[in-house]
Amino acid sequence: MTDLYAVTISPAAMRDLFEAEHDRTGDLPPNYSAAPGALAPVVLKDENGQRTVELMRWGLPVSGGGRPVIELHDICDPRWPDLVKPEHRCLIPANSFSEGRARNWFARDETRTPFAFAGVWLAARAGEHRRFAILASGTNSLAGGGARAMPVVLTEDEWDDWLDGDNEEARAVLKPPAEELLTVVSTGEERDPPESRMGYQ
């Protein structure tokens, strides 16, 4: 399960990279260890169909007060029937993520080229931030023993399919990341080392 990730892209770079019309994150600092419950930037389509970057809280609430769900394996989960609707898709910008008991940090390359997790979001209760969860699929050999799923990692050519595509196009990207897409850039760290970040200011 992915329970930490880094997002070190500046708000200006994020807006340009994801072709967002609006940025509601404010002066967002780099985060080298976004954890469950944290506020993190999310790209979604607003009520006018324009791409917007805003802060959401990581973890879908569970009825009865259980631990929020941070990783979702099925967008048809009956606990949240609205998630299957296209308007609840989102992109979760990231530079790296941690997976497995060994605390391996994965990235596209040593410079932490940005990517996005496929995500879903829910409306908030009054006075609260909206909530999001990362979608997960099967594993590849990089995950190591014991891992049952890895997050769905989307590259630039898949962002439109997930955020704007029809149901068939969107579901086609919900697959484990290709082995050649990721590399282990750090091991045993509670955060992705900040000295490794390059560019994307």
Encoded tokens for 143:
């995950």
Q: pLDDT tens digits for 80-125?
A: 999 989 999 999 999 999 987 778 899 999 999 999 999 999 998 8
Q: Does residue 136 carry a pLDDT above 90? A: yes
Q: Does residue 144 carry a pLDDT above 60? A: no
User: Which CATH superfamily includes the segment(s) 2-188?
Assistant: SOS response associated peptidase-like (3.90.1680.10)
For the chain, the domains span: 2-188
Task: List Cβ neighbours of 174 (8 Å cut-off, separation of 6 or more).
Answer: 75, 118, 135, 137, 152
Rounded CA-CA distance 109/62 in Å is 36
Q: Does residue 200 carry a pLDDT above 60? A: no
CA distances from 190 to 3, 20, 32, 115 (A): 10, 31, 9, 20
Rounded CA-CA distance 9/13 in Å is 6
Q: What is the pTM of this model?
A: 0.92
Mean pLDDT of 23-42: 93
CA distances from 141 to 74, 109, 112, 138, 150 (A): 22, 17, 20, 10, 11
β-pairing, 39-45 vs 2-7, is unpaired
Helix count (H) and strand count (E) of the chain?
3, 14
Q: What is the pLDDT of residue 66?
A: 86
